């Protein structure tokens, strides 16, 4: 009797030890999986840093079964073509600013309104709250799964012709802008000549003087080495870009619940790391750019207000195209945040 019990206990101990060695993933429904993660920024950019951390966490949480291979710097194409690849199921992961999704889910244009957020804290509140969740919930019917929101940050203008310290300095500048209607309309209203281009084409366009400048966070100016061909920068902070971490719905539908949870948990854990990295790099980028010879001009608060007022018709145009209830909810959340900050 005691010998049988001892053998059973020994066998049970072996099973427990085996489970401990293989990790929890070994007891879950997780298969060998390989995912392609394509994005337009460099691996060294804060978005690339986030992608790398996400890849490491997916592998760790799946017990080494699920692997994410990174394809940075637009090697698999620009944003629009990669999003199409996700919808077709040939690429599993990417990151995209909301404006690139507004063509398929128009309410995402909400996050690209000029001067929507005053600071990152306001953005976090909205993105991580009901409004952010409701927008992600619109993606599955478009062939995409929104895992979480990363961050690109506040956008600034750079150019090769002159300092920009007031609204009138933008007049006549040919600026590369994002391939989204609200930014094209916004810079057109400010007197610039907006030229929408995919990000992988921007350096060459700047180098060949096809465009005078562009608008992006300083972190991207540093990572993309625009300082080699751009003399002037200005902290216009005219828009704040979240970044949606996207997964292909076609690929998602083939995954088990456990595999989906690995991806969701890795995304949730990566989010604060990526945002902190982005803010740290952006804070240091201005000094780096000045060290490389760029002339960075302060853009006064009163000039920013002039831009905001000038762009009010553009803002109103796009607000009319967005779900009124969602817009009201967003501005209600912002009002509460600003009231609490006083």
Cα-to-chain-centroid distance, residue 331: 21
In a domain? residue 70: yes
The answer to whether 93 touches 67, Cβ cutoff 8 Å, is no
pLDDT digits (tens, 9 = 90+) for 271-296: 999 999 999 999 999 999 999 999 99
Residue closest to 219 by CA, chosen among 277, 272, 161, 265 = 277
- C-alpha to C-alpha distance for 23 and 10, rounded to whole angstroms: 20
Domain containing 49: what range?
Answer: 29-341
Contacts of 187 (CB under 8 A, 6+ apart): 170, 175, 177, 193, 194, 215
Q: pTM for the complete prediction?
A: 0.85
From CA 91, how far away is CA 253, in angstroms rounded?
Answer: 14
**Residue 214: strand pairing partners:** 158, 176
C-alpha to C-alpha distance for 104 and 16, rounded to whole angstroms = 49
What's 54's domain CATH number? 3.40.190.170
What pLDDT, on the 0 to 100 scale, is given for residue 111?
93
CA 5 – CA 118 distance, rounded (Å): 68
Is residue 35 a contact partner of residue 1, using CB atoms and an 8 Å limit?
no
Residue 10, in any domain of the structure: no
Give the helix ranges, DSSP H, for the chain.
2-22, 46-61, 79-88, 120-127, 130-136, 181-189, 202-207, 218-223, 249-252, 257-291, 301-310, 312-319, 324-341
**pLDDT tens track for 144-179:** 999 999 999 999 999 999 999 999 999 999 999 988
d(CA 126, CA 334): 7
* Residue 116, in any domain of the structure: yes
In a domain, 6, yes or no: no
Model pLDDT for residues 221-239, shown as the tens digit of each residue: 998 999 999 999 999 999 9
Task: Indicate whether 20 belongs to any domain.
Answer: no
CB 192 within 8 A of CB 172: yes
| 211 within a domain of the structure (yes/no) | yes
Look at residue 313 and tell me if it is in a domain: yes
The CA dihedral of 172, 176, 180, 185, to the nearest 10 degrees, is 0
Average pLDDT of the residues in 117-144: 95
- Domain assignment of residue 5, yes or no: no
Q: Residue 341: which pLDDT band, with cuts at 50, 70 and 90?
A: low
Provide the domain count of the chain: 1
């Amino acid at each position: 009797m005691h010998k049988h019990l001892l053998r059973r206990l020994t066998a049970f101990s072996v099973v427990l030890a085996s489970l401990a060695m293989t990790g929890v993933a070994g007891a879950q429904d997780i298969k060998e999986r390989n995912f392609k993660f394509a994005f337009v920024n460099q691996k060294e950019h804060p978005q690339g840093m986030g992608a790398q951390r996400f890849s490491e966490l997916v592998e760790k949480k799946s017990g080494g079964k699920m692997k994410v291979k990174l394809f940075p710097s637009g090697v698999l194409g620009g944003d629009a073509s990669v999003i199409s690849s996700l919808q077709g199921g040939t690429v599993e992961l990417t990151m995209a600013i909301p404006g690139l999704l507004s063509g398929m889910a128009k309410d995402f244009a909400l996050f690209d309104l000029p001067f929507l957020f005053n600071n990152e804290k306001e953005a976090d509140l909205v993105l991580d709250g009901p409004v952010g969740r409701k927008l992600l919930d619109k993606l599955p019917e478009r062939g995409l799964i929104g895992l979480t929101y990363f961050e690109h940050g506040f956008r600034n203008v750079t150019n090769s012709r002159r300092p920009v310290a007031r609204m009138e300095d933008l007049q006549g500048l040919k600026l590369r802008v994002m391939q989204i209607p609200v930014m094209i309309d916004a810079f057109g209203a400010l007197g610039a000549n907006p030229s929408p281009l995919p990000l992988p084409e921007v350096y060459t366009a700047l180098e060949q003087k096809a465009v005078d400048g562009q608008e992006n966070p300083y972190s991207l100016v540093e990572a993309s080495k625009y300082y080699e061909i751009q003399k002037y920068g200005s902290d216009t902070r005219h828009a704040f870009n979240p970044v949606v971490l996207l997964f292909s719905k076609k690929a998602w539908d083939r995954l088990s619940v456990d595999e989906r949870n690995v991806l969701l948990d890795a995304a949730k854990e990566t989010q604060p790391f990526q945002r902190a990295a982005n803010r740290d790099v952006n804070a240091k980028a201005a000094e780096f750019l000045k060290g490389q010879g760029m002339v960075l001009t302060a853009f006064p608060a009163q000039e920013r207000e002039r831009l905001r007022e000038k762009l009010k018709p553009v803002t109103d145009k796009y607000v009319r195209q967005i779900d009124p209830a969602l817009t009201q909810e967003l501005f209600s959340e912002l009002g509460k945040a600003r009231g609490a900050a006083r």
